[in-house]
Amino acid sequence: MVASTVELRNIAGTQAAIGWAGSHTVVVDRPCGKAGGAGIGFNGAQLLALAIGGCYCNDLRYVSHELGRDIDELAVSVTIELDGAPLVATGAVLSVRVQMRDGDDPSPIIEEAWRICTVANSLKEAFPVEMTH
């Protein structure tokens, strides 16, 4: 079993929080005027979208490395759909565009990275997570 732990603490003088894992940090906040938010960091839905997209970007690199193929350019966009009270994520759509350095079709890398994407696979148990390209 593998475990990953992050820590979060309030940022003095604000109602935002700073989160970290090792030497990496992220600021978490609400939009300006919402429950004391100052808009200085990501909200929960944005963090969820970043988790999906970031994990997938890493998996694209893992797969391309394993196959000995270089990605020249990639673009990933994630939209989280929210509904209800309390507000919950009801779906996510990831869009991907990959250009290989050799100009070949990136579809096998795109599909394999999606198949192994830890965050997307974890969330699919809770709500639909889709990918388009």
- CATH number belonging to the domain at 44-132, selected among 3.30.70.1880, 3.30.300.20, 3.40.50.2020, 3.30.1330.10: 3.30.300.20
Q: In the structure, what pLDDT confidence band is assigned to residue 129 with cuts at 50, 70 and 90? A: confident
**Scanning the structure block, which residue is given the tokens 């192994």?**
116
Gap between the Cα atoms of 78 and 41, Å rounded: 18
DSSP three-state, residue 100 = strand
Say if residue 33's pLDDT is above 80: yes
Q: What span, in angstroms and rounded, lies between the C-alpha atoms of 24 and 42?
A: 15
Does position 127 have pLDDT exceeding 80, yes or no?
no
Q: Where are the domains of the chain?
A: 1-42, 44-132
The rounded percent of the chain whose pLDDT value lies above 90 is 89
Question: What letter does residue 32 receive in the DSSP assignment?
Answer: T
Dihedral of CA atoms 20, 23, 24, 27 in degrees, nearest 10, equals: 50
Instruction: Note the pTM of the prediction, 2 decimals.
Output: 0.91
